[in-house]
Homo-oligomer: A and B are copies of this chain.
Amino acid sequence: MSLSLNRPDRRDGLRRLFRHPAEMLSSRAIRTQAPPISWLMQQAVEVEGLISLAAGLVDRASLPCARVQALVNEILADPEAGRDALQYGTTPGHHALRDLVRARYCAGTAYDDADQVVVCTGSQQGLELLGEAIYDPGDIVIVEDPTYFVYTGVLESFGCDIRGVASDADGMQVDQLALLLDQLRASGELARLKAIYVVSYHQNPGGWTLSLERRQALMALVHGLPEQVLLIEDAAYYELAFEPDQRPPLMATMDASGDRVASFLTASKPFAPGLKTGFMVVPPRLVAAVVHLKGNHDFGSNNFAHHILARALATGVFDEQVADLRAVYQRKAQILSEALHRELPAGSAQWAESSGGLYLWLQVPGVDTGPDGALFKACLEQRVLYVPGCYAFAPEPGRSKPSDRLRLTYGVASDEELVEGARRFAAALLSLGV
């Protein structure tokens, strides 16, 4: 979003924008900042010929135009189905879709109830709604360090007190979490703890998946916590596992109590982001609160998209697309990683090979990867963009943030752009004398 700075008649508007915010704006609006990614996106637009290895968009060539066209034609050529899809839906979403989501992700578990599935405008809306349902300013939320930086922005917007727990190749270090919980218990802060948030598959930005052992240990820890503490599982990349058979189970399906986990899934990454449809699976005690808040927000997301996706899931078209995308991203992850290995001086950077999702998480020892550092500047000169790692570390005062990490994505760039992007990135790094 940019105001047209070059138009004189809008300068008054800009003055107004900054003149008296405190009088007009709510306390939440004052706490809500533009996400750092906005600035990155702006760079991507302004630098001509730039290759973005930063933007979290999906692969363009594999977007399912023909599949969606066929589904829409099936729906709209049938007057009854067409009218159902173009009429208002209901607040929690199209029931057939909720039931297909239940069957796909929760069958046979303590969450096996379509009434606990709420369809949202992307999983992001689910995260926001759940936050509205449970957070008051001052509530403590524990996140992985690093974590999904859009969610820390949401937490700051709610006035939450964010605490980070170190993560490694197996995800959140649950023994470190246990230590933090002991500290909160000792300091009397445990009553303020509301949630533990994990991105549990092919994490953004780290790329790792929370291992089965860690999942079991995490679940046990959560069951020992006061009842108000919820485990929030952001499973946005669940479907994009290159080897789905080796994928550990969703946290919700491991919670025999049926009461402690909210899992978030999406059709954006594994099908089509333009349909902007995600799913939340919540414990019974939160259904009413979330649905009432959603009633205020929109009394139901885009019903047409719900009908398209229900048909995609019911007919197997969704699975076909997912299978195609797994192959696409596995190929693209390999292209980017191989190009980096080829172009970068040995030892100048480390990263783990991707097992799914959209990201590589690089450490570049001794190099400041921040937005004001030399590497970021050199990359802009070379016309390649990455996400500085500093954005992803928990904004917890006193907690140190490594300055030598960065996120690359193989999602949106073409095969050729990935190779050229890696070449430019290496040229930028070399220009620093690394």
Residues of A within 8 A of B (CB): 1-4, 10, 12-14, 16-17, 19-21, 23-29, 32-35, 38, 56-58, 60-61, 63-66, 68-69, 72-73, 76-77, 79, 82-83, 85-92, 113, 115, 120-122, 124-125, 128, 132-136, 150, 153-154, 157, 226-228, 230, 258-259, 268, 272-277, 283-289, 291-293, 295-305, 307
Contact = CB atoms under 8 A, between A and B. Distances in A.
A12 B56 CA distance: 40
Contacts of A298: 120-122, 124-125, 128, 276
Nearest to A290: B29
Given A3-B284, A63-B82, A87 B57 contact: yes
Contacts of A300: 276
A19 B57 CA distance: 42
Contacts of A86: 63-65, 68, 272-275
A221 to B, nearest CB: 18
Q: Do most interface residues of chain A lie in helix, strand or loop, or is the interface mixed? A: helix
Oligomer copy total = 2
A109 B108 CA distance: 59
A121 B68 CA distance: 21
Nearest to A89: B274
Given A1-B287, A121-B121, A292-B32, A113 B25 contact: no
B4 A113 contact: yes
A120 to B, nearest CB: 8
Contact of A259 (B2, B16, B274): B16
18 contacts: A12-B258, A13-B259, A13-B285, A14-B284, A16-B284, A25-B289, A57-B87, A58-B87, A65-B79, A65-B83, A68-B76, A69-B76, A86-B273, A125-B298, A153-B296, A275-B302, A276-B303, A305-B305
Given A65-B76, A285-B24, A296 B128 contact: yes
A96 to B, nearest CB: 14
A305 B275 CA distance: 8
A26 B272 contact: no
Contact of A302 (B28, B57, B73, B274): B274
Nearest to A306: B274
B10 A304 contact: no
B77 A69 contact: yes
A34 B65 contact: no
A398 B372 CA distance: 59
B57 A284 contact: no
Contact of A133 (B13, B14, B26): B26
A186 B132 CA distance: 36
Nearest to A128: B297
